[in-house]
């Protein structure tokens, strides 16, 4: 299947700093990218979806000014956690999909980023 990379895999930062997470589709053009947050032993919480060249669509309850998403190209999306606090510590996962011929295809997930805010 298609490959999605995510960087960094793990980051530890001090409270108040900003952290950028990159998500890249390596061998296909991602029409849509998704950002999820996952708490221990819990399901995925969709934070936002983004289409190349347009603003991200955030889910209810997700602060767009705190979680900045940029989808600058068909292969790259970034999530920036601004002024991170300990409650932002979590496992962040991106995924990408290609919508071709009007049909949605399965998502391909990155390996995830473990963020720890001290």
The binding site for another protein (CB under 8 A) comprises 1, 4, 6, 32, 34, 41-44, 46, 49, 91, 93, 95, 97, 99, 103-104, 106-112, 114
For another protein, the closer CB: 77 or 97 = 97
Helix (H, G, I), strand (E, B) or coil at 3: coil
For another protein, the closer CB: 4 or 81 = 4
Q: How far is the CB of 19 from another protein (least distance, A)?
A: 18
Whether residue 8 has a cis bond before it, omega within 30° of 0: yes
For another protein, the closer CB: 2 or 68 = 2
Decide the pairing of beta strands 32-38 and 4-7.
Answer: unpaired
Q: How far is the CB of 93 from another protein (least distance, A)?
A: 5
Q: How far is the CB of 59 from another protein (least distance, A)?
A: 9
Q: How far is the CB of 83 from another protein (least distance, A)?
A: 26
The DSSP symbol for 59 reads P
Distances (CA, A) of 8 to 5, 57, 114: 9, 23, 8
CA–CA dist 115, 107 (Å, integer): 22
């Amino acid at each position: 299947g298609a490959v999605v990379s995510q960087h960094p895999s793990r980051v530890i930062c001090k409270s108040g700093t900003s952290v950028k997470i990159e998500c890249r589709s390596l061998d296909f053009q991602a029409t849509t990218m998704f950002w999820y947050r996952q708490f221990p032993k819990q399901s995925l919480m969709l934070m936002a979806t983004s289409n190349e060249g347009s603003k991200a669509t955030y889910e209810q309850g997700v602060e767009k000014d705190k979680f900045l998403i940029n989808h600058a190209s068909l292969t790259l999306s970034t999530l920036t956690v601004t002024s991170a606090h300990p409650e932002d510590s979590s496992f962040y996962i991106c995924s990408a999909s290609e919508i071709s011929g009007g049909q949605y295809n399965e998502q391909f997930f990155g390996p995830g980023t473990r963020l720890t805010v001290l």
